[in-house]
Amino acid sequence: MIKEYLKVWNARKWMKQTEPFLQTWHAHLGYSLNLFQHFKKKATVEQVARNHQLDEVLLNRWVEVGLAVGHLAKKRGNKIKTERKMITYLTKESKQSVGILLEEMFELHIPTLMSYRDLIQKDDKEKVPGMADMVAETSSLLETLTLPKVASVLKKHRITSVLDVGCGYGGYLKKLADKFPKVQFDGIEVDQEVCTRAVESNHFQNVKIEQGDFYEIQPQKPYQAVMLNNILYYFSATERLAMIKRASAVMKKNGVLILISPLANGKHGKRFASAFNSFMSAHEDMHPLPSKKEIVRFCKQAGLELQSEKPVVREGGWYMLTFQKKGK
């Protein structure tokens, strides 16, 4: 257990050390596209996107990061204004600008550094991990922090059956199964390779992991708890609503939905969460982070009421939300 906490501590340390890079990334983009100049006079994101033919969604993500790191300020009427220091040092019109240094760093130095993995291996290159495999690995880091919170919910509600949707390697299921040997833990994972690894490493009689589609499973009886951990940003808002409704449908009355995700506009980890949201918006296989307001609204439509909201990784804006199905 001590080794696991040390692992998480180091992960959180590196997240903190990444924050200065987020500021530099934001400054480079603001300089290279002259975005700081576009917001020199107060303007809305919509106005700037329209006037300069920019993608409004991605521009809005950039603005969110800028507000979080202090490069931009929000004014009345949802207007954005660049802070004076950014106008002075990071616009192409300013004689005091140092933006060309960032441009050289991001367009020449960093791409070369990022190619080191391939260059240093010469012809003996290892296979780059697939996205599903990589995400399953990183998600496992969160388990040490969230496990006590999840265990507390299971104990409080005297849960006897749990379904983990998108269970990855089954880390939550196996660790919880060790703590709750009388509880049945089922997991479903859509990626065949990840699921195979999960099944091969499973030695618990009260854990069953299967490959398949969440919408197609037909449980013999409703579950007392369903977990949706770190998967919502793979789906659009419409798909999230459908997933939450499906979770409610396979759950007993008074059952519990446990949902872990980084949140947009959360109280904690605004810098990292805003940058993470920018990545999600730009990636073709991802979607913008959900907000608490969005999740609560969807759950209400699915007959689920918010019971608790707890930060899991404050630096990254990760939260655990629990909901309970209304009894009828």
Token pair 């990254």: residue: 316
Token pair 């296989």: residue: 285
DSSP 37-94: HHTSS-B-HHHHHHHTT--HHHHHHHHHHHHHHTSEEEEGGGEEEE-HHHHHHS-TT-
CA-CA-CA-CA dihedral for 293, 296, 300, 302, to nearest 10: 120
Half-sphere exposure (Cβ direction) of 170: Cα atoms closer than 13 Å: 29
* Chain center to CA of 287: 10
Q: What is the pLDDT along the chain (328 residues), one digit of tens a residue?
A: 677 667 767 777 777 777 788 889 999 999 999 999 999 999 999 999 999 999 999 999 999 999 999 999 999 999 999 999 999 999 989 988 888 878 878 887 788 777 877 777 766 555 555 555 555 555 666 777 788 999 999 999 999 999 999 998 898 899 999 999 999 999 999 999 889 999 999 999 999 999 999 999 889 899 999 999 988 988 999 999 999 999 999 999 999 999 999 888 778 767 777 777 777 777 777 888 899 999 999 999 999 999 999 988 776 788 999 999 987 5
Q: Residue 111 corresponds to which tokens in the numbers above?
A: 């791409």
Torsion-angle region of residue 103: left (phi > 0), alpha (psi -120 to 50) or beta? Answer: alpha
Query: Phi first, then psi: what are they for 188, rounded to 5°?
Result: -125, 135
Give the chain's domains with CATH numbers.
2-121 (1.10.10.10), 133-325 (3.40.50.150)
Distance CA(315)–CA(269), nearest Å, equals 4
Which residues touch 64 (CB under 8 Å, ≥6 apart)? 264, 274, 277, 278
Half-sphere exposure (Cβ direction) of 293: Cα atoms closer than 13 Å: 4
Greatest alpha-carbon span in the chain = 71
Burial class of residue 12 in the structure, from the number of CB atoms within 10 Å of its CB (0-12 exposed, 13-18 middle, 19+ buried): middle
**Under 8 Å between Cβ of 206 and 181:** yes
